[in-house]
């Protein structure tokens, strides 16, 4: 949904650029209003109006989804507990919760393996080489966990 809105913004900006009109990027929800105000030509406005309407529908849908995510995460005890950890927000807590699903079926060390966070081991005879992480399984959960850990490690602690 977010990528679709970015694509719509790029299409509108590209169309405007072809006619020499520049309204700036879409840093906020007022993008469609700025574009409509900048377009004087009815034909160009008629071309871009369906794209702007779709963009605004996407923003409304994203707002609804965000409210649902907040509701689901606030009702789930495990998500609330995960969010007490610094740098763990709604999205990371929900993705981890859905990735693990039933926590009691895992040993502590197996959860890392499920997300591909254990090192690959190459063994032959007496030689054993420990390599990079295996990167198997759920890439999105792994990426979110990495991002949360990176924020936790690099964030300045205010005392």
* More confidently predicted of 4 and 106: 4
The arithmetic mean of pLDDT across residues 48-71, rounded, is 89
* More confidently predicted of 59 and 114: 59
**Rounded-to-integer distance, Cα 111 and Cα 109, Å:** 6
The arithmetic mean of pLDDT across residues 30-44, rounded, is 80
Residue with tokens 């997300």: 115
Q: Where do the structural domains in the chain lie, given as residue ranges?
A: 2-72, 77-154
pLDDT tens per residue across span 67-96: 998 998 889 888 899 888 888 888 888 888
* More confidently predicted of 126 and 41: 126
**Rounded-to-integer distance, Cα 85 and Cα 4, Å:** 32
Contact 117, 139 (CB under 8 A): no
Q: Is 126 exposed, middle or buried (0-12, 13-18, 19+ CB in 10 A)?
A: exposed
pLDDT for the residue numbered 42: 76
The yes-or-no verdict on residue 156 having pLDDT over 70 is no
Geometric angle at alpha carbon 35, from 23 and 42, rounded to 5°: 120
pLDDT tens per residue across span 93-149: 888 888 787 777 777 667 777 777 777 888 887 888 887 777 777 778 888 888 888
pLDDT for the residue numbered 35: 83
Beta-strand ranges (E) seen in 9-117 are none
Confidence of residue 26 (pLDDT cuts 50, 70, 90): low
């Amino acid at each position: 949904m977010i990528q679709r809105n970015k694509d719509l913004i790029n299409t509108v900006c590209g169309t405007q650029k072809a006619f020499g009109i520049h309204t700036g990027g879409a840093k906020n929800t007022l993008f469609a209003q700025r574009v409509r105000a900048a377009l004087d030509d009815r034909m160009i406005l008629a071309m871009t109006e369906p794209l702007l309407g779709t963009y605004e529908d996407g923003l409304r849908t994203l707002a609804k989804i965000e409210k649902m995510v907040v509701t689901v995460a606030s009702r789930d005890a495990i998500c609330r507990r995960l969010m007490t950890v610094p740098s763990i927000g709604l999205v990371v807590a929900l993705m981890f919760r859905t990735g693990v699903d039933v926590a009691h079926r895992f040993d502590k060390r197996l959860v890392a393996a499920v997300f591909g966070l254990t090192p690959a081991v190459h063994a032959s005879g007496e030689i054993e080489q420990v390599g990079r992480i295996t990167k198997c399984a759920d890439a999105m959960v792994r990426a979110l966990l990495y991002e949360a850990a990176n924020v936790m490690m690099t964030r300045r602690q205010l005392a």
